[in-house]
């Protein structure tokens, strides 16, 4: 347990630069390895019960690229899993794609600096604007520094703003609807065979 805690603290606070963006993207803010998973609880309230599960289920060659397939589902509804494909460029850009989409979407820039902005065209034809900020996050009893929070806003939509926060060495740690004031925060993660609880 002590070794896991030391590893977690080192992974979240390390200032040692990565040798390449690819290394950062696969072992840094979005560790994609088959078998990695993230369990979440509701961000509001006192319940510690896990309500949502996300897992890297496999790899696939699609559209001339290699993707990681990540499925997500409510714990009480495993048969309604959502599937999303992720691929990471060597510069740290993360694209997502679904089988019914025409275009990929530039979901994350893992090498982005605090305050960086970009936009991408969604499959419906609307534009999504993204701003990345660095932040410190309280996750259960732990304080995680050097996180990257990605805030999404589609100007033509109403009440859709949301933020996804990634932590170095962990990946997904919080997802929150800024418009509705609700979301989920990490309860447990298995990364490369090491399990972390919050």
Q: For 133-185, write each residue's pLDDT tens digit.
A: 999 987 766 788 889 999 999 888 877 799 999 999 999 999 998 777 789 99
Token output for 100: 């019914």
- 10 three-class SS: helix
Residues linked to residue 118 through DSSP beta bridges, in sequence order: 130
80 C-beta neighbours (distance < 10 Å), count: 9
| pLDDT-based confidence at residue 195 (cuts at 50, 70, 90) | very high
Res. 12: pLDDT tops 50: no
pLDDT at 178: 79
Residues linked to residue 85 through DSSP beta bridges, in sequence order: 69, 97
Domain count, the chain: 1
pTM to 2 decimal places? 0.82
Q: Determine the structural domain holding residue 126 and report its residue range.
A: 2-197
- DSSP letter at 41 equals E
For residue 101, the Cα-to-chain-centroid distance in whole angstroms is 20
Per-residue exposure over 110-146, b if at least 16 CB sit within 10 Å of its own CB, e if not: bbbeeeeeeebeeeeeeebebbbbebebebeebebeb
């Amino acid at each position: 347990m002590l070794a896991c805690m030391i590893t977690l603290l080192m992974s979240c606070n390390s200032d040692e630069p990565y040798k390449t963006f690819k290394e950062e993207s696969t072992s840094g803010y979005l560790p994609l390895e088959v078998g990695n998973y993230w369990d979440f609880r509701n961000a509001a309230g006192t319940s510690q019960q896990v309500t949502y599960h996300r897992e890297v289920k496999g790899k696939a060659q699609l559209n001339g690229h290699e993707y990681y397939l990540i499925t997500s589902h409510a714990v009480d509804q495993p048969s309604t899993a959502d599937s999303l494909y992720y691929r990471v460029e060597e510069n740290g850009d993360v694209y997502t794609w679904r089988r019914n989409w025409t275009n990929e979407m530039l979901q994350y820039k893992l090498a982005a600096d605090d305050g960086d902005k970009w936009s991408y065209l969604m499959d419906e034809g609307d534009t999504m604007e993204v701003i990345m900020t660095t932040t410190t996050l309280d996750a259960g009893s732990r304080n995680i520094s050097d996180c990257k929070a990605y805030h999404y806003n589609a100007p033509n939509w109403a009440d859709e703003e949301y933020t996804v926060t990634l932590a170095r060495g962990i990946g997904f740690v919080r997802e929150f609807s800024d418009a509705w004031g609700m979301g989920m925060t990490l309860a447990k993660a298995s990364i490369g065979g090491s399990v972390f609880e919050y």
